[in-house]
Amino acid sequence: MAFTRPDLPTLINRAEADIETRLPGADARLRRSNLNVLARVHSGAAHGLYGYLEWISRQVIIDTADGDILERHASIWGVERKAASPAVGNITVSGTSGAIIPADSTLARSDGAQYTTDAEATVAGGTATIAVTAVEGGQAGNAAAASSLSFDTPITGVSASATVDAAALTGGADIEVDDDLRARLLARIQTPPHGGAAHDYIAWALEVAGVTRAWVYPAELGLGTITVRFVRDDDASLIPDAAEVAAVQAYIDGLRPVTAGVTVAAPIAVTLNFTIDITPDTAAIRAAIEAELRDLLRREAEPGATILLSHIREAVSLATGESDHILTVPAANVTHTTGQMATFGAITWA
């Protein structure tokens, strides 16, 4: 039977009763009596000890352990928390031909995010393309194409501002949260490595910063081949770009069996739009329905998967406040071919 931790009022009542039992005629419940003070002091200390024991009881079990203790459990199994990774990409700088931009030059975005140039570059034909890396790891370092950056220190012959090129600055990922680390640790325990089993490729992909879900398809490209697809749900676009695909490919290549032909690829996004008439129709209910549909796709959308119409209707019905709805788009199960994956599009409110 589970142990129920007594709350503070219960402990105080017990202490008062114990004192009165051992001192016949005493009233330990009088508000300003010494006995009442002793009962409360003793109960407060006991309550703190109960709290510590409760905390310990959570830490000794992996699925309830917190923070640093969870990391300790994970390290025993060879699972490490994924560190934050910095955004990378290219910027374009204009200036006088022949002007040199030194390596490690610092640029800043309008919100204060900083970047450094990876190598020395020389302006040719009035422009130079320079690879940069965010100083701090995390999604905050990602920047859209055409974003403006400014040099912290002026460089002779070079414009003070630079522009992020069309490929944007990507790859920035926040430090892995406890729930994701816990999920990987439990998967490591429940499905031990087998030196190249299908689940090993999923585990390897998930070890790369920013990767949140991954799938493996044996023999998709022929005998002896393995295809791995993954997404980054926490990025602005969950579909990885070429650089992010290359990073996962390189990581898996360092771990896979030498005889396996592994291809890492991004899923092909297929936008899934919805047309819904809801009752009652309020902004709060619309937001709740969108949240439920996004959650449905995070749970069920994967390359080649079918999104069931019944599950879409169920998700809408689960939204807080919804009492009735008519779903006209989609009108049937949404199927996908090899590599295709449903991504959230837009909702038209009928």
Mean model confidence pLDDT for the chain: 95
Q: How far apart are CA 235 and CA 212, in angstroms?
A: 10
Confidence (pLDDT) at 1: 64
Q: For the chain, how many structural domains are there in total?
A: 4
Average pLDDT over residues 137-152: 96
> Do residues 260 and 288 both lie within one domain?
no
170 domain-assigned:
no
Average pLDDT over residues 40-52: 95
Say which residues have a Cβ less than 8 Å from residue 177's Cβ, sequence separation at least 6: none
235 domain-assigned:
yes
What single DSSP character describes residue 309?
H
Q: Which amino acid is at 280?
A: P
| pLDDT band, residue 329 (cuts 50/70/90) | very high
At residue 2, does pLDDT exceed 80?
A: no
Give the domain-ending residue among 265, 299, 327. 265
283 domain-assigned:
yes
Confidence (pLDDT) at 201: 97
For the chain, the residue count is 350
> Do residues 218 and 286 both lie within one domain?
no
70 domain-assigned:
no
71 domain-assigned:
no
Confidence (pLDDT) at 25: 87
**Owning domain of residue 315:** 268-349
Q: How far apart are CA 60 and CA 65, in angstroms?
A: 7
> Do residues 217 and 157 both lie within one domain?
no
| pLDDT band, residue 317 (cuts 50/70/90) | very high
CA 300 from centroid of its chain's CA atoms:
17
78 domain-assigned:
no
